[in-house]
Amino acid sequence: MRRMLNTLFITTQGAWLSQKGENIVVHLNKEESKAFPIHLFESILCFGQVNVTAPAMGFCTEHGVALAFFTEYGKFIARVQGPVHGNVLLRREQYRGADDEVKSLSIVRSILLGKLLNSKIVLRRFLRDHQREGDIGERFRETAALLESWIAELQHSNSVNDLRGIEGIAARKYFELFNEMILQQKEDFPFAGRNRRPPTDRVNALLSYVYTLLSHDAASALEAVGLDPAVGYLHADRPGRAGLALDLMEEFRTWLADRFVLSLINKKQVNGRGFTLTASGAVEMKEETRKLVISEWQLRKQDELTHPFTGEKMAVGNLPYLQAMLLARHIRGDLQEYPPFIWR
């Protein structure tokens, strides 16, 4: 397994990046700057009013470092991409498969098997760790049982649209219990359901931001193995949307992203004062909160676990790359089925 490299997050407004030798130089103001060797990084993410010189952009693409731009609050804007690398035959197979209902059905079924199983495991693990009794405990057990029935239903569905329907119902039932998993700061972090574009409460602001970070990791992993992040199987083609990256991150949403957000709230690492309400009704994180989330996310990616399919011990941050490799092997025909990541 490849060595997990770092991601450089630029969140200081007005900063600009240049190249000097084998370094990326971050200029914070006219006097202050910091130089970072390019070989330390796999990604550079720029949030808000951050400028990058053309030579620095070219330097990143030459060294295979993903460079992406977001609004200050985490909405994706653009990626800088150099020459396309990887096997053109692999991408041809990817495109053919995306247009083939039978091949798409197999991949989507595997992706959703991973997502629903992980959702069930998250609920049961929470119930085990926190001993919820009465009506709340019963709701957890009922939803876990429903997820089990929908997992079985995945095997008998004969169209991708049917599978999308199962996923939508399962996601709604799962999020109906999300508020019950918030154990601390409930007044500051109420959750009545998923909303986005824009998020209208603090929990959804955190979820959307972390999903953005996860989708970038997924897109970078897919590009690294030679797949096109834009052409997915579960998520239909849409201009500007990285469909395959969204596909890949589905099996990571509940056990990685959602539990990370719950941990931030329940451990009181974030608080209600770290957010602002805009005139449009959107809730946004303040700069110090965004920096804390990024810092904790990077620490979480350094945790290690054993992959259930390969038996290999690895950092959590390398999982999207390994899953992208397994998906590429399936698309090439080296694996009969795509093995999703199942959290244990």
- The per-residue pLDDT of the chain, averaged, comes to 88
Average pLDDT over residues 302-325: 86
88-332: CATH, from 1.10.3720.10, 1.25.40.10, 1.20.120.920, 3.40.50.300:
1.20.120.920
Taking residues 8-13, report their average pLDDT: 82
Residues recorded for the chain: 344
Give the H/E segment covering residue 305: strand 304-306
Q: What is the pLDDT of residue 2?
A: 52
Cβ pair 272, 285 in contact under 8 A: no
pTM above 0.85? no
Residue 26 vs residue 84, higher pLDDT: 26
Find the helix packing angle between 259-266 and 202-224, rounded to 10°. 140
What type of residue is 127?
L
Helix 319-332 and helix 243-252: axis angle, to 10°? Answer: 120
The residue type at 12:
T
> Does residue 4 carry a pLDDT above 60?
no
Three-state DSSP class for 43? strand
Q: How far is CA 84 from CA 224, 225, 326, in A?
A: 10, 11, 20
Q: What is the DSSP letter of 117?
A: H
Q: Does residue 3 carry a pLDDT above 60?
A: no
- β-pairing verdict for 51-52 and 16-20: parallel
Q: What is the pLDDT of residues 138-164, one digit of tens each?
A: 899 999 999 999 999 998 888 999 999
Q: Tell me, what's the pLDDT at 151?
A: 94
- For the chain, the distance separating the N- and C-terminal CA atoms, rounded to the nearest angstrom, is 20
Domain 6-80 class?
alpha beta
The pair of structure tokens assigned to 206 is 């955190």
Q: What is the pLDDT of residues 212-271, one digit of tens each?
A: 999 988 988 888 788 989 999 999 887 778 899 999 999 999 999 999 999 999 999 999
What are the residue boundaries of the structural domains of the chain, listed by start?
A: 6-80, 88-332
